[in-house]
Every structure is written in structure tokens, then in C-alpha cells.
């Protein structure tokens, strides 16, 4: 690998590392909001699980997706995120 290619890859990886840090921050922020919603639902004796909400989320994320990720791949990612959020809430 040439030095120039290595330098370019290193720079791109640094940008990815920054984005990963932002993603972790935002996922934890999202988890905090989900915990607030769970508390309100519990206090109001509302059901904790709302499958309709999950479908709304999937529709919203795919409606704003401009690629290069495929909608199906985003759905898999969000299914994993929602599963993790449920684990935080329990």
C-alpha cells in the first residue's frame, strides 16, 4: 500500500471514529428519552409496548433514507436498536 493511500485511509477512519462517537452519544440520548417515556407510561398505567410505534419508526427512517444504505438494512439496524432500548427499559 502506498503512503498516500495509507494516509487517505487513516484520515477517513478518523472521520468514521468521530461519527461513531456521535452515534454512541445519540443512542444514549435516545435511551434516556425512552426511559422517560417508560416512566410516564408506567405512572399512567399505559401499555409499555406499542408495536404500531415500531412500524411508525421504520416508515420514518426509510422515508428519509437517501442511501447508500438500503431500507431493509436500516430496518435491521433499527430492529437491533429497538431491542437494545427494550433491554434498557426492563
* Fold held by 3-89: Chorismate Mutase Domain, subunit A (1.20.59)
Global pTM reads: 0.86
- Span 12-69, pLDDT tens digits: 999 999 999 999 999 999 999 999 999 999 999 999 888 899 999 999 999 999 999 9
**Res. 90 pLDDT band, cuts 50 70 90:** confident
Contacts of 46 (CB under 8 A, 6+ apart): 40
Cell 447508500 maps to which residue?
68
Check residue 29 and give its pLDDT: 97
- Count of CA atoms in the C-beta half-sphere (13 A) of 6: 3
Check residue 49 and give its pLDDT: 87
Q: Please report, for the chain, the start and end positions of each structural domain, with discontinuous segments joined by +.
A: 3-89
Rounded CA separation 71/54 (Å): 15
Amino acid at each position: 500500500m502506498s503512503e498516500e493511500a495509507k494516509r487517505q485511509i487513516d484520515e477517513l477512519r478518523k472521520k468514521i471514529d468521530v461519527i461513531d462517537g456521535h452515534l454512541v452519544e445519540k443512542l444514549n440520548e435516545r435511551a434516556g428519552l425512552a426511559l422517560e417515556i417508560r416512566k410516564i407510561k408506567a405512572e399512567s398505567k399505559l401499555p409499555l409496548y406499542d408495536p404500531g410505534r415500531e412500524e411508525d419508526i421504520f416508515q420514518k427512517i426509510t422515508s428519509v433514507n437517501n442511501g447508500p444504505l438500503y431500507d431493509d438494512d436500516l430496518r435491521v439496524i433499527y430492529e437491533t436498536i429497538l431491542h437494545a432500548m427494550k433491554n434498557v427499559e426492563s
